[in-house]
Amino acid sequence: MKRAIGYVRVSTTEQALEGISLDNQKAKIKGYCDLNDLELVTIIEDAGKSGKNLSRDGIETILYKIKRKEIDAIVVYKLDRLSRKVIDTLTLIETFEKAGITFHSLNEKIDTSTAMGRFFLNITASLAQMERDLISERTKDALQMKIANNERAGQVPFGYRVAADGNTLIPHKEEQEVIKATRRLRSKGLSYRAICEALNKAGYRPQGKYWHPQTVKNILKKAA
């Protein structure tokens, strides 16, 4: 019987989502191993961890066990539990395959012990990445539309205040003058530090006790 390790992960923002909890993932993995004659040695978890990269204790533990040849199969509830990036997912799968380890993902019904399973893995990972990219693009477009309409989009930018409706941005006269002065000074080739000195001498009220180069840089970047 093949020795299997289950891997579960949930980020902080996913804690309350039905069907994605650590306990639910563990229960599904245990049931799958029982039905497929896999000896579930242990279940490794990364609680409160994002899937944006592979810098996770659980992943490092799996790689260590692979190096020591302690496992024959890895089982996850869903493909994106490994990583939300296609390149990271495929890199891990390649590591598994080189070590002779099969990979199983319950939600997508992936079993890399078969040629069809390996093919379907690549397709599924690519589609998941495309979906996340499209969501990201739509979010950015929506934020840009809000900004173009002088509506609040996250933190209130320097140079504005929020109107009584809690949404519309109203230009703040003094801070708008600071933005104009900062742009003018930068166009003359002054460094961020030199701009800070000029703003302090001109008596413009700083964000904090004094004007700082990073503050000026942020103002110019957001006002661009």
Residues classed as catalytic: 11
Residue 125 to residue 123: CA distance in whole angstroms: 6
Give 71's contacts (C-beta < 8 A, 6+ positions apart): 3, 4, 5, 41, 62, 65, 101
- Please tell me the distance from the alpha carbon of residue 210 to that of residue 198, in angstroms, as a whole number: 12
Type of residue numbered 80: D
Residues 6+ apart with CB under 8 A from 173: none
Per-position DSSP letters for 25-60, written without gaps between them:
HHHHHHHHHHHTTEEEEEEEEEET--SSSS--HHHH
Comparing C-alpha atoms, which of 17, 12, 86 is closest to residue 53? 86
- What tokens appear for 34 in the block? 């029982």
